[in-house]
Amino acid sequence: MKMKRTCISILLLWFACGAAAAWAGDLDPFRDESGAIKISGGTAHIPVMKAAADLIMQLNPKIQISIAGGGSGVGIKQVGEGLVDIGNSGRKPTDEEIQKYGLVLHQWAIDGVAVVVHPQNPVKALTSEQLKAIYAGTMTNWKALGGPDKAINIYTRDEASGTREVFWEKALAKGEISPKALFVASNGAMKTAVAQDPNAIGYVSVGHIDDSVAAVALDGVAPTLENVKDGKYKIARGLFSNTKGAPQGLTKKFIDFIFSSQGRALIVEQGFIPVK
């Protein structure tokens, strides 16, 4: 994690000095622009969006980029209603949504959804069946799984979350989620909550995993970037930035930047796999 921060600071410093010859071109389109871009939706996307926005706003203070969370459902709905310019989603919008709003999808990364526990928890591997039982609320103690004799605290996300949708479909096979589960509002909040609670189990975007939480191998496959990339880890999804119709003006430049070599470097830095 610290590495990540240091990397970003060094990068920023580099740009401030104007010495980044290799990538300098990718930001050029923003030089003579002004205006605002509103982004909302998927919370897994926020670190990448924020890093890109910081670079652009540092280069040209006349551009204002606002980033809000809310979850994938919100992103799709708000961009469809024209409330924001870019609506992010951590799941592919349904055909119905695409048709209703005339959405154009831009998938810029592949990500996985990993089960996480507190780093001190000795349980580091689960089977799908065990996971389903935990989330359904029928398996309630860590002892049965080789952990301490403590009640399991289940954490989940709200209905608007794309991460929840993917996890529910692919990991739980649309099984029950106990009403006793504690709710958190974003990927970031899930990580923080699990990092603070020794008896927690939760799920986050693979890109958000760091040493404050421990990823759990599911059916023997660890949720690493490599396994997601190879397709071995099944709970994978794309990260989408959606626009209503083809993107125009500043919004187009922002999306183009995400797909540029510098944007791809940002995506890698934040722990995701850029799409070619």
Partner 1 sequence: MRVAGQRAITAWSWISSLLLTGSVVTVVGFVLIKSLPVLHWRLIFGRTPPLEALWRWAPVTGGLWPAIGGTFFLVITAVGLALPFGLGAGIYLADCADGRLKRGLTLLFDVLAGVPSIVVGLFGFSLTIFLHRYLSARIYPSLLISALALAFLVLPYLIRGTQEALENLPNALRLIAPALGATRMQNIFRVLVPKALDGIAGGVLLSIGRCAEDTAVIMLTGAVASAGLPKSLLGSFEALPFYIYYISSQYRDPQELQQGYGAALILLLVCAVLLATSLILKNLLARRVRGW
Partner 2 sequence: MRSERCMQSALAAAAWISAAAAVLIFLFMAVLGWPLLGNGDLMQVLCGPWSPMHHQYGIRPMILGTLCIASLALALAVPVSLGCAVFIQVTAPKGLGRALHHLVRLMTGIPTVVYGFVGIFLLVPLVRNLSGHGAGLSILSAGLMLSLLIAPTMILFFVQGLAAVPQSHRQAACALGATPVQQLIYVLLPQARRTLLAGVVLGLGRAMGDTLIALMLAGNSVATPQSILDPTRTLTAHIALIIAADFESPEFRTLFICALILYLMTTLAVAVMRRLAAKPVEIP
State the residues that interact with partner 2 by CB under 8 A.
70-71, 73-74, 77, 151, 153, 158-160, 176-185, 193, 196-197, 199-200
Q: Please say which residue, 63 or 194, places its beta carbon nearer to partner 2.
A: 194
Residue 29 phi/psi, 5-degree rounding, is -55, -20
Nearest distance from residue 50's CB to partner 1, in Å?
A: 5
Sign of the Cα torsion 177, 179, 182, 186 reads positive
Q: Please say which residue, 41 or 271, places its beta carbon nearer to partner 2.
A: 41
Report the interface residues with partner 1, using CB under 8 A.
Answer: 1-2, 5, 9, 12, 36, 38, 40, 46-47, 50, 53-54, 57-58, 61, 64-69, 81-84, 184-189, 191-193
Q: Please say which residue, 237 or 244, places its beta carbon nearer to partner 1.
A: 244
In which residue are the tokens 């809310």 written?
70
User: What tokens appear for 20 in the block?
Assistant: 């980044």
**Residues 6+ positions from 215 with CB-CB distance below 8 Å:** 114, 115, 116, 206, 209, 222, 223, 224
The span from the CA of 264 to the CA of 163, in Å, is: 22
Do residues 36 and 63 lie in contact, with contact meaning Cβ atoms separated by under 8 Å?
yes
Q: CB under 5 to 8 A by kind: which of partner 1, partner 2, none does 160 bind?
A: partner 2
Nearest distance from residue 114's CB to partner 2, in Å?
A: 20
Q: CB under 5 to 8 A by kind: which of partner 1, partner 2, none does 89 bind?
A: none
In which residue are the tokens 């421990």 written?
214
Q: CB under 5 to 8 A by kind: which of partner 1, partner 2, none does 182 bind?
A: partner 2
